[in-house]
Structure 1
Amino acid sequence: MRRRNPLPYLLILPSFLLAAAVIIWPVYDLVQIASNDVNRFGQLRGFNDFANFTALFADPNFLAAVGRTALWTVAVVAGAILVSVPVALILNSDFYGRDIARVIVMLPWAVSLTMTAIVWRWALNGESGMLNSGLRALGLIDTNIQWLASASTAFPMEIAIGILVTIPFTTTIFLGGLSSIPGDLYEAASLEGASGWQQFREITLPLLRPFLNIAIVLNTIYVFNSFPIIWVMTQGGPANSTDILVTHLYKLGFRIGQLGQASAVSLVMFALLLFFTIVYVRLAMREERAHQGA
């Protein structure tokens, strides 16, 4: 029987210990708080038979926030990918001013989400906002629209802004993928008479798939936990109608003082993200192996 070399395990041991200190210990603390009665100062009063989880899943605001978080995450991630793919294709092509165009596309990435949300909150102001002024100047509306006063308009606007701020990072991932595709493949396809769409479908998209998987996983984690846009623009209002899990967690922990339920929300979020990441990565790896086998 061949003896395993312990060197690789020793090399990753420092990183594992660091990850354990940064991730495992806080999760352990969250489990302790979520499974105990706790006052608003964080003092544990004893095990409570997981009453925090029972109260959480009986709370209609929490259940609504779960559904809204799913919609927010899927819409922003899908929208960002659908927009970023053609943007990356354009920026990867050779044209005059390409470097300047790349800088312009990446600029929103350099601005903090909080500042971006503040600017958009001003632009969507129902009385003096830039959007209403522009629409009135074009003759598209006669009266001001209160964009942030109703969930039917506020939440779609927040999704649109979420897509906007996610595009630079996603475009960067796709540009890295496109730059790794050999140009000889496109030249050979052109000689064979393949159209631009056929080249994209048969060459670009399959070779871009690993980068697409990276974009989906990273953006899902990033968007799922995104706090500034919704909090700065509406603080989850009106009447909790734009709350997602992370803003609901903040209200429970820092406004109401329900630290036990807030910790329970954190564990639910952690479990959902871990489940998604494991399932998606396994499906992506299985598809990649099937593709290589074919």
Structure 2
Amino acid sequence: MHNRALPYLLTLPSLILAAVVIFWPVVDLIQIATHDVSRFGQLRDFNGVANFSALVADPDFIKALLRTGVWTAAVVGGALLVSIPVAVVLNTDFYGRSVARVIVMLPWAVSLTMTAIVWRWALNGESGMLNSALRGLGLADQNIQWLASAATAFPMQIMIGILVTVPFTTTIFLGGLSSIPDDLYEAAALEGAGPVQQFKRITFPLLKPFVNIAIVLNTIYVFNSFPIIWVMTQGGPANSTDILVTHLYKLAFRVGKLGEASAVSLVMLAILLVFTAIYIRLAMRGERA
């Protein structure tokens, strides 16, 4: 009996910590989201789902929700497409590989906020480095206001999101590639398989579990990512680059609608939980098949 209870006793401190760190704030969010709240956080009357109804009726929330989907899918998908070939190259043995790995990892070592600030300077419409480079190369004859329109600002933010996500994703794939035995490649080469065939038949199938890990972790990270959008445009111009997390911040600290902001937080939590559960289920089903 004592041996059966031992695993539960050993995990009890972690469960208590998780309850304090995760479940307690969620309970507080639910309480705030179902009440009228003053600008100073004082709970007033219970209003049920009124805050959630207000979100559904808010066109800015709907646009931010859809834009968050585009932002997350584009950044996570772009990071995967870039990271896999980068990891394959960095996994091969060549002179200067250590230096190349350090260069690839550098964006990960820099603060995300500082990265966004540097890119905001580079994309300045008057004195930005990008405009200067384009004019110097003869590719543009006038300055482009990169951050003045969502048509240019949001794609640039996606590009920067991919750039800062690649190092972490590449690290995951390098760990996966290092676990693949070299004997498989040697046997495939003896059978006449070229590099492309080896990638399709050996590398990618054995890398799938790591791809699943990268997708889940990056989706959670990118979905909640705040600094790039906020530092570069603060969701502007005219809320045209807002995602859910920046929309939440504005509701809470600019407009003072803490109840609706808490409702946005719960919607984000629900979306991530549903996505994670469905994706893991599909991934496990695929592995069994």
TM-score (norm 1): 0.97
CA shift for structure 1 position 117 = 0.4
Name the residue aligned to 2:6: 7
Paired letter, 2:64: A
Name the residue aligned to 1:213: 212
Name the residue aligned to 1:190: 189
- What does 1:38-187 correspond to in 2, within 5 Å? 38-187=37-186
Structure 2: distance between partners of 1:54 and 1:202: 50
Name the residue aligned to 1:243: 242
* Other structure's SS at 2:246 match: helix
In structure 2, list runs of 5 or more residues that go unmatched. none
| 1:256-278 Cα deviation digits (max 9, x unpaired) | 11000000000000000000001
Name the residue aligned to 2:232: 233
Paired letter, 2:13: P
Paired letter, 2:272: L
In structure 1, list runs of 5 or more residues that go unmatched. none
Structure 2: distance between partners of 1:26 and 1:247: 20
Structure 1: distance between partners of 2:238 and 2:18: 39
Matched residues, percent identical?
Answer: 78
Aligned residues: 289
* Other structure's SS at 2:4 match: coil
Over aligned residue pairs, what C-alpha RMSD do you find?
A: 1.2
Paired letter, 2:185: Y
Structure 2: distance between partners of 1:181 and 1:7: 36
| 1:119-160 Cα deviation digits (max 9, x unpaired) | 000000000000000000111111110000000000000000
CA shift for structure 1 position 17 = 1.2
Structure 2: distance between partners of 1:251 and 1:282: 35
CA shift for structure 1 position 50 = 1.5
Structure 1: distance between partners of 2:99 and 2:41: 51
Runs of 4+ in 1 over 3 A off after TM superposition: none
* Other structure's SS at 2:139 match: coil
Structure 2: distance between partners of 1:77 and 1:97: 28
Structure 2: distance between partners of 1:197 and 1:99: 25
- Is structure 2 residue 18 aligned with structure 1 residue 19? yes
Paired letter, 1:259: L
| 1:17-50 Cα deviation digits (max 9, x unpaired) | 1111100000000000000011011111021122
Name the residue aligned to 2:263: 264
Structure 2: distance between partners of 1:288 and 1:14: 33
TM-score (norm 2): 0.98
